Amino acid sequence: MKDKLLLSPFRKAAVDDKGAALIIVLCFLVLTALITSSIVVISQISSKSLKVNTDRAYAVYIAEGAAARLQWLLMADLRNFTDRSTNNFSTVSDDEQVRYAADGKSKKIDYYDSVVNVEIFDMSSGFDISGTKPSQNLKSLQSTFYNDPDKREDFDIFLSNLTDYVDRDSFLNVNGIEKNGYLNMDIPHLPRNDKMEYREEILLIPNAQLFFSPDKYGRLSIFNIIPPKGLPKYKSKSNFFAADTEMIMAKCHVDEEEARNIVNNRNNWLNSSNAFVDFFDPSTIEKLKSAFSFKDSQYYTLIVNASPGKGMAARTIIMSLKINSSMRNPGNQYYQYVIY
């Protein structure tokens, strides 16, 4: 009996050790299962990410190739149709030949086994802010705020800030801002005190964000592209087919409702085979023709959206360039090239 009592604690310890070992094994199995499932999930995510990235890279190649083909199609159109006044022809010609002009209409072109969506706009899409007095070119926007005196006052302040940004002196305009003001905002390198080099610079100027925002492609298309150094300047009226609602309000001195109606009628015309005059009354056409250009300037913005296939990743290339009717020196000159 005494021996049994002496052995009992050892047997109890052995039983306890077996229980602890079992718990350790079970924990190890659970941990192994978690690691395995994590590896499987990571592998699936990596596989999908790799496929998406591969599709995106392939989509860029397709978009670049289609953009090159679109340039040749546009050059052929320039040779075949020397009259570039867009409102002089219906969108579908009598011989059903597809036209390539800066009308903004969505088109599809075949590029090997892919169908690519393209749009052509004139590069003169908005206001010119490239010179030494950009605020003068933006004053027509004041008329769009006639029902909002507070916003009109903010816009006047912005124009003063813009003038101080580009002028070469250090004298403050009324409500303007110079070097000390930018220092107080922890922007020590501003103002430029010279002509702007990029249209996006305008968002560095106080109050600009209240009035201007990027379009759906992230561009400040309400302003013309400022030509990079070494490229020729382009002077042209803003093109009607590249103008948004705000531009139409400012240039034609109409309210927002009428401007939206003009945009809707423009879109309806682009999607029809009827003449331009069927969608606008004579007084509106007179307004539009005095405010905008209806003729290609031969400076274009091409928007090309491509995908390797249905349900696969798509990429968009936007290029702005001068296109001639033939590939003569210096060839097509690029002003901007963006891949999204």
Residue 94 has what pLDDT? 47
Question: pLDDT means per 10 residues in the chain (340 residues)?
Answer: 51 58 76 77 69 83 94 92 69 62 89 91 91 89 83 91 90 87 89 92 91 88 91 86 90 91 91 84 90 90 91 90 84 89
Residue 331 has what pLDDT? 82
Residues 6+ apart with CB under 8 A from 174: 160
**Among the listed residues 119, 24, 11, the one whose alpha carbon sits nearest the alpha carbon of residue 74:** 119
Domain map (residue ranges) of the chain = 61-339
Residue 83 has what pLDDT? 79
Residue 48 has what pLDDT? 67
Residue 63 exposed, middle or buried by CB count within 10 Å (0-12, 13-18, 19+): buried
The residue type found at 280 is F
Residues 6+ apart with CB under 8 A from 267: none
Residue 43 has what pLDDT? 66
pTM equals: 0.80
Residue 91 has what pLDDT? 47
Residue 53 has what pLDDT? 79
DSSP sequence for 192-212: --S--S-GGGGGGSTTGGGT-
Residue 16 has what pLDDT? 57
Q: How many CA atoms lie within 13 A of 215 on its CB side?
A: 14
Is residue 119 a contact partner of residue 106, using CB atoms and an 8 Å limit? yes
Phi-psi region at 11: left, alpha or beta (left = phi > 0; alpha = psi -120 to 50): alpha
**Among the listed residues 305, 325, 330, 307, the one whose alpha carbon sits nearest the alpha carbon of residue 317:** 305
Residue 176 has what pLDDT? 87
